[in-house]
Amino acid sequence: MMDILVAGIGNIFLGDDGFGVQVVQKLAGRSLPAGVVVKDFGIRGFDLAFALDTAKTIILIDAASRGEAPGTLFTIEPDLKNLDYDTVPDAHSMDPMQVLRLAKQLNVLPGRILLVGCEPASFGPENEGHMGLSLLVQAAVDRAVDVIETLIAELRAAESEPATQMRV
């Protein structure tokens, strides 16, 4: 079992939705600590759901709208306790929350999941698709790589800290 899986998510044919894919491509060329695996899952939500139990911590990377300025980065830790499906998952529209719901049903959730997201500017013209990131989101790719490398270092440091002993 690996320690950390960094998973890029997105559709490169839908403009800024390809953000996660671009970030993992950059990370793949970097020197990362042992036990850290970087993988492009693209739009393969089922593959991602089944990979979630292969690591202690998963860092998902995706474009996600939160009403911020395009190119804004954020890191959140989703609430995994309230992940229930009302319907059967749709394999053609597996956003990260749907993947986590499926993983919960399959009982393959890891110990910790973090999402590094970027506010998109555009997913391209309606029903046409568009390859390539907008300028603001493209500018956020290198910053996202830095954020992820910092997260990995912090996770590693937390693992190596000795447990605090409790006095009885």
Work out the pLDDT band at 117, boundaries 50, 70, 90.
very high
Per-residue model confidence (pLDDT) at position 75: 95
What is the spatial distance between Cα 29 and Cα 26, in angstroms, rounded to a whole number? Answer: 6
**In terms of Cα–Cα distance, which of 98, 1, 83 is closest to 43?**
98
pLDDT tens string 49-106: 777 777 889 899 999 989 999 999 999 987 766 656 555 555 545 566 677 676 666 6
Q: What is the mean pLDDT of residues 1-26?
A: 90
Q: What is the mean pLDDT of residues 138-156?
A: 95
Per-residue model confidence (pLDDT) at position 167: 43
User: What phi and psi values does residue 138 have, to the nearest 5 degrees?
Assistant: -60, -40
Structure tokens at 77: 């830790």
Domains and CATH numbers, the chain: 2-160 (3.40.50.1450)
Give all strands (DSSP E) within 2-160, no chain letters. 2-9, 36-42, 55-63, 73-76, 112-118
pLDDT tens string 129-142: 677 899 999 999 99
Helices (H), 7-123: 19-28, 45-51, 96-105
- Burial level of 84, CB count in 10 A (0-12/13-18/19+)? exposed
pLDDT tens string 36-53: 999 998 887 777 777 777
pTM: 0.80
User: Cβ distance 121 to 130 under 8 Å?
Assistant: no
User: Cβ distance 91 to 46 under 8 Å?
Assistant: yes
Work out the pLDDT band at 116, boundaries 50, 70, 90.
very high
- Comparing 19 with 14, the larger pLDDT belongs to 19
